[in-house]
Amino acid sequence: MKLFDSLTHVTRDGSWCGERRYDATLARLLQDMDEADVYRACLVAIADYVDNEVIIESARAHPERFVPIAGLNPRTLPTLRRVEAVVAELAAQGFAGIKLHPRLNGYDPLDAKCIAVFDAAAEHGLVILLDTLFRRRGLATTNAPDTIDYIANACPDTRILLLHAAGPSMLDLFEIVRANPNLMLDFSFTLMRYAGSRLDDDMRYLFSTTDQLITIGSDFPEYPPARILERFALLSEGIEAHRVENIMYRNLERLFAGYRVPV
């Protein structure tokens, strides 16, 4: 069955986070997508790690395959007004959304500049892809569900894809997503990271009951799409076909309905 991959990355030189452990080239991603019948993917930048330029260039070269998502680190911007201006610039460049990664970029997701990104994204019709694994050494944060609950209520018009579903806090986060129509859970990385743990049962439960609020992805180059599909097939065994289709591609089609890459 076809997949709309929620999370992929490429780099110009193929390195990943400064290392050569993975092949992060566009050619390798396209090869892996073809082998796994991935017909479309969110192609996602990460501020300071994956350049926006290579993402938008790749999407323009393959407009039917990719939905380009810009990376932004609000911590580096001097004022709230500048935050708003940069979001407007990204929308004008043709990005469909913005990736926020508080852990890698070292900021509190409740910082005023970060909240300003959510507000500006709604104004310009952009989707926020928020990495929900906030914990990092040297910067304490509130637990992920409480943080996201605050953001959802402070920015009720912003569409947010919650990457990695907050890991072990996924059930608590699920209750917040149910109460907020602009939130969606993503299980990229989490599918593999917690394999064999008690979270397998939690994921099976969510897949079988909350299919209209869930997406999956590979987090390429961390994992090839084929491995994600094998893992999802195991966890979704016995679940009705229409629920599986929602999770694999229909929900993302709905989230990005009407978007086209400018060429």
- pLDDT tens digit sequence for 57-92: 999 999 999 999 999 999 999 999 999 999 999 999
Predicted confidence (pLDDT) at residue 28 exceeds the cutoff of 80: yes
* Whole-number pLDDT of residue 17: 77
Predicted confidence (pLDDT) at residue 167 exceeds the cutoff of 80: yes
Among 3, 21, 23, smallest CA distance to 11 is for: 23
Confidence category of residue 46, pLDDT binned at 50, 70, 90: very high
Considering the entire predicted model, what is its pTM?
0.95
- Percentage of the chain modeled with pLDDT above 90: 91
Among 2, 73, 15, smallest CA distance to 41 is for: 2
Confidence category of residue 140, pLDDT binned at 50, 70, 90: low
Report all structural domains of the chain as residue ranges with CATH numbers, in order of start: 3-255 (3.20.20.140)
* Whole-number pLDDT of residue 187: 97
